[in-house]
Chains A and B, each alone.
Chain A
Amino acid sequence: MDARSIIASLTDRFPEDIYDADVESDIRTVAKVKPENVVDVCRYLKDELSFGHLCCEFGIDYPDRNEIEVVYTIGSYEHPVVLNMKAVLPRDDPQIRSVVPVYWNANWYERETYELFGVEYIDHPNLKQLVLPEDMLGEWPLRKDYKGYPNKTAKNLV
């Protein structure tokens, strides 16, 4: 399957959940997904379209649009196509269903996105901080309005 037919299959199967789907090149496709049905879409991608490899999952903060995007980068071993799937969440209460039941390696990606952006994953098996100390939880350091950076003039700056 090439990129065009993959996007066509995805939009035909989920006409209401997938929007802004586009083919950027022969190997790059993008799509946006409604946050409510992300698990169903991922299961369809994995079982029917053989997108078996979740390469990455992370977040992007857009304070002027008051949105946080969660990006799933999903690759395939069958056909040379990478899908960038985005879910748009409200910034005050970002909540999305966890895709750990489909892609098991999303576990630590989601924990990291949780500790850095504050995205709350529903039904995650072990949602806690990954590398940050526990008392930094709630500061969400990778959001654009994070104020906790240290003073720029370190005393011993060489």
Chain B
Amino acid sequence: MDEVEEREKVEPKIFDKIGYDDIPGVVMTDTSAVSDFLKKTKVQNVLNWGRKNSLWFMVNAMGCCGVELLATGMAHYDTDRFGIIPRNSPRHADVLIISGYVTKKYLPALKRIWDQMPAPKWVICFGDCAISGGPFYESYSTHQNIDEVFPVDVFVPGCPPRCEALIQAFVELQKKIEAKKDKGTDY
């Protein structure tokens, strides 16, 4: 018992003496130095190639555009060939699709979904309502200019846009990721 207590007292002192954070010539994996270093090399191209081909999106149907969102994930359009798979949990998803008007009451829940998604993550504004409020742009309960809240990469206009438009949006997002112009990753 006494030995354990003594060791607990001693160990921090040893780490202080060695200098746990700054061993010369050694990069610790618990810092962001490794990923910061990789972002400047060609390895990032390979990472982005992998990311752009597995854009799993969050099934979060918020309005009538959500029906198109659901239809896109079904077998008819076969988005699996682009690596686009609908997921029902925000923990699995890479892309959040805002598919409808955002009311003041719903915005905290949407932010919570966004916070639960692991990085890197991207946002697509799908439909007129998500872009500007649509027919509800002057309502007392809608939140305008949603792109000030989320880092939106692609806007898809339409009321509602077709499923092909959503697939086009994913292709545009893939192009942005490949060109390192997306907002989801910190370059």
Interface residues on A, range: 10 to 19
Q: What is the minimal beta-carbon distance from B76 to any residue of chain A, in angstroms?
A: 28
Find the residue from B132, B133, B137, B147 having the highest chain A CB count within 10 A.
Answer: B137
Q: How far is the CB of B157 from chain A (nearest CB, A)?
A: 5
Report which of B104, B131, B139, B144 forms a contact with A158, defined as CB distance below 8 A.
B131
Cα of A59 to Cα of B140 in the assembled complex, Å: 17
Q: A150-B138, A156-B155, A158-B131 are in contact. List 17 more A-B contacts (CB 8 A).
A: A131-B105, A133-B105, A136-B140, A136-B141, A146-B140, A148-B140, A149-B139, A150-B140, A150-B142, A152-B138, A154-B132, A154-B137, A154-B145, A155-B144, A157-B137, A158-B128, A158-B157
The A/B interface has a contact count, at CB < 8 Å, of: 45
Say yes or no for A141: interface residue by CB 8 A criterion.
yes
Q: Which residues of B contact A (CB under 8 A)?
A: 104-105, 128, 131-133, 137-142, 144-145, 147, 155, 157
Q: Is A56 an interface residue (CB 8 A)?
A: no
- What's the Cα separation between A66 and B128 when bound, in Å? 39
Whether A158 pairs with B141 at a CB distance below 8 angstroms is no
Contact assessment for B144 and A151 in the assembled complex, using a CB-CB cutoff below 8 Å:
yes
On whether A132 and B137 interact (CB within 8 A), knowing A156-B132, A157-B132, the answer reads no
**In the complex, what residues of A have CB within 8 A of residue B131's CB?**
156, 158
Q: Which residues of chain B come closer than 8 Å to A146, judged between CB atoms?
A: 140
Closest Cβ–Cβ distance, residue B55 to chain A (whole Å): 23
What is the CB-to-nearest-CB distance from B144 to chain A, in angstroms, rounded to a whole number? 5
Report A-chain residues with C-beta under 8 Å of the C-beta of B155: 156
Given A131-B105, A132-B105, A133-B104, answer yes or no on A156-B140 (Cβ-Cβ < 8 Å).
no
